[in-house]
Amino acid sequence: MSSSSTTEYPYEEGSYTLYVTKHCPFAQRALRAFYAAKVPYKLVEIDLDNKPTWYHLVNPQLKVPALRLPSGEILIESLVISEYVADQFPEAHLLPTDALERAQLRLFVEIFSSKIVPNLYGALRAASAEEQETKKEGILAGIRDASRQLENQWKRVNNNEGLWLGDRVSLAEINTVSFVNQLAAVEIHRGLVVPQSQEYAAFNKWVEAYSARPEYTEYSLADEVIAEKLRKFLA
Amino acid sequence: MSDISQAYPYEENGYTLYSCATCPYAQRALRAFCIAQVPHKVVEIDLLNKPSWYHLVNPQLKVPTLRTPSGDLLIESLVIAEYVADQFPKARLLSLDALERAQLRLFIELFSTRISSVFYRVLRAADVDDQEMEKKKLLEGVREVSRELENQWERESGKGGPFWYGDRFAYAEVATVSFAGLFRVLDHYRGFQVPDTQEYKGFNKWFGAVVNHPGFTDVKPDDAALIASYKRFLP
C-alpha cells in the first residue's frame, strides 16, 4: 500500500481499490458487486464524519463509493461501478445478455432509485404525521410496483426460486437490497409496515429469497443498527 | 398502423415509439433509433392534451415509451436508448469495453446534473439575482463538461474528437444533444450564451460539430415550437 501524503492517496498497486463506508447503502452496491463477481480488491474504509485529507484526490465530490482500477483510472457513482463490474466480468453473469431482459432489469432497479429511496429519506425527514403518511404510502406504492414487476419477470423466466433471475443473484439484487435493508429505519421510527397481502406477495418472497444469500448477509446490517445510523435524518 | 378502435395504436410487428417532438427525453429515444437506422413508427403524444388511451401504454403518462415487436413496453429514455444499443450492436452506439462504458455513463451523468438540471432552474428563477446565480452555475457546468470532453479526446476511444467517440456521433450524443439544444431556449428567454473563450473550447468544439450533424438536425424540433413549449416553465 503506497504511503499517504498531501499529493498522494493510498491504493493497492496492480489491483482494484475500493473506497467505501461499510454502512452506506450506495457503497454496498459496489461491495456486493465485487463479492458476487468474486473479484479480489483492496478495501479502504472512509469515515464519512472524518474524511481523510487525501480523499478529494480520489473523489473530488468526497462521496463513497469510489473505485481505483489497476490502470489508475478512478470511477465514481455506485451504479456506474456495479455496472462496470458486470461488464468487466461477464462470466459472473451479473446482467443478462439479452437487450430486452437487461432493460427490464434496469427498470426494476429504477423503481428503488426513483420511488422507494426518496420516500424512505422523506419519511424520516418529514416533520408532520400527515407528511410521514404520504411518504410511507409512496414507499408502499413503489413496493407494489416492484412486486408486479417481479411477478411479470418470473412468468418470463419460468422460475420460482425467488431472485430476479430465478436462482442467481444479479444487479437486480446488488443495486437494490441495501435500500430494502434501510427500510428498517422507517419501520422503527415511523411505523412502516409492509403488508403480507397478495399485492406484496412477490416482493416478500423476493426478500426472503435474497436474505438467505451470502451476497446479502455479508454486508447487511441489523435493524437496530440501521435505525440508529439513520436517526440523524429524523425531523 | 393498427385501427385505433384497438386498445391503443401501435405498429404490428414493428417498433412503436410514443414521443413528443419538443421533449428532450423523448428525443434521446428518437435519436437512438435514427442513428442505429432501425425502422420505427412514431406516435406523437401532445403532453398538454394526452390521449385517453395513453395510460395503457405508460401509466406514468410520460414520454418516451417504446413498444417492441413482441408487445413489451419500455419506459425511461436512457433505458430505451441503451436497449437500442444492446439490440443493434452493429450500429456501435456504445463501446463494448467496460471502462469506456463507465466513463461515458459518468459523462452523461455530469451533463445531466451540471447542465440539463440547471437549465430548468435558470428558466424557473423568479428574480434577476436568482437567474444570475443559476446562469453562473450553468457556466460552471459547461466548463466541467468542456474539461471532460478534452480528457476523453486524449483517450484512444476519443481520438481527438469532436464527438465523444472521435468522428462518430453515437451514444454520448444521443443522450445529451437534445439538452444542449435547449441553449437556444435560454438565449431567447434569458439572453444566455456560452462564451467563445478557452475555458469553453471543448464544449464549443463539440457543440459546433453537433449542430451540423444529421444526428442532431434530423430529430431537432422546429425552433419556434421549441421556444413556445418552454414558456410554461417561466415563473
B208: distance to nearest CA of chain A, Å? 29
- Number of Cβ within 10 Å of residue B54's Cβ equals 19
Backbone angles phi, psi at B105, to 5 degrees: -60, -40
| A69–B83 C-beta distance less than 8 A | no
Most A CBs within 10 A among B73, B76, B79, B84, hence the mutation to make, goes to B79
Please tell me the distance from the alpha carbon of residue B222 to that of residue B235, in angstroms, as a whole number.
23
B232: Cβ contacts below 8 Å, ≥ 6 apart: none
User: Which pLDDT score is estimated for A157?
Assistant: 87
Give residue A1's pLDDT band: very low, low, confident or very high (50, 70, 90). very low
Asked if ipTM goes beyond 0.90, one says yes
Q: Could you give the CA distance from residue B28 to residue B34 in angstroms, rounded to a whole number?
A: 10
User: What is the model's pLDDT at position A158?
Assistant: 83
Given this model, what pLDDT does residue A235 score?
80
* Structure confidence at residue A2 (pLDDT): 47
The pLDDT of residue B6: 58
How does DSSP classify residue B67?
E
Cβ <8 Å between A103 and B109: no
State what percent of residues in chain B have pLDDT above 90: 90
Angle of CA points A133, A135, A146, to nearest 5°: 120
Please write the tens of the pLDDT for every residue from A60-86: 999 999 999 999 999 999 999 999 999
Q: Which residues contact A33 (CB under 8 A, 6 or more apart)?
A: A81, A82, A85, A86, A94, A171, A174
CA gap B90, A169 in Å, rounded? 30
Q: What is the pLDDT of residues A34-59, one digit of tens each?
A: 999 999 999 999 999 999 999 999 99
Instruction: Extract the runs of DSSP E, i.e. beta strands, from chain B.
Output: 16-19, 41-44, 65-67, 73-75
Q: Which of A5-14, A162-171, B57-66 comes out lowest in average pLDDT?
A: A5-14
Q: With 0-12 CB in 10 A as exposed, 13-18 as middle and 19+ as buried, what is B3?
A: exposed
- Strand ranges inside B45-97, DSSP E: 65-67, 73-75
- Interface A-B: count of C-beta contacts within 8 A: 59
* Residue A44: strand pairing partners: A19
pLDDT bucket at A5, cuts 50 / 70 / 90: very low
Q: B205 is written with which cell numbers? A: 468544439
Helices H / strands E in chain A, number of each: 11, 4
Q: Residues in chain B with pLDDT < 50?
A: 1-5
Task: Check B106 against A77: CB less than 8 A apart.
Answer: yes
Q: Is A73 on the interface with B (CB under 8 A)?
A: yes
In A173-232, the residues whose Cβ lies within 8 Å of chain B are none
pTM (2 d.p.): 0.94
Predicted confidence band of residue A6 (pLDDT cuts 50, 70, 90): low
Q: Sort A32 into a burial class: Cβ within 10 Å, 0-12 / 13-18 / 19+.
A: buried
Among A47, A38, A109, which Cα is nearest to A79's?
A109
Contact residues for A48 (Cβ-Cβ < 8 A; gap 6+):
A21, A24, A64
Model pLDDT for residues B98-116, shown as the tens digit of each residue: 999 999 999 999 999 999 9
Q: Which three cell numbers stand for residue B197?
A: 473563450
Interface probe with A: pick from B93, B101, B152, most Cβ of A within 10 Å: B101
Q: Which residue has the higher pLDDT, A158 or A147?
A: A147
The whole-angstrom separation of Cα B80 and Cα B42 is 14
Residue A28 · residue A43 · CB < 8 Å: no
CB contact under 8 A, B83 and A88: no
| 8 A C-beta contact, residue A192 and residue A123 | yes
DSSP string spanning A90-142?
GGG--S-SSHHHHHHHHHHHHHIIIIIHHHHHHHHH--SHHHHHHHHHHHHHH
Cβ distance B87 to A69 less than 8 Å, yes or no, reads: no
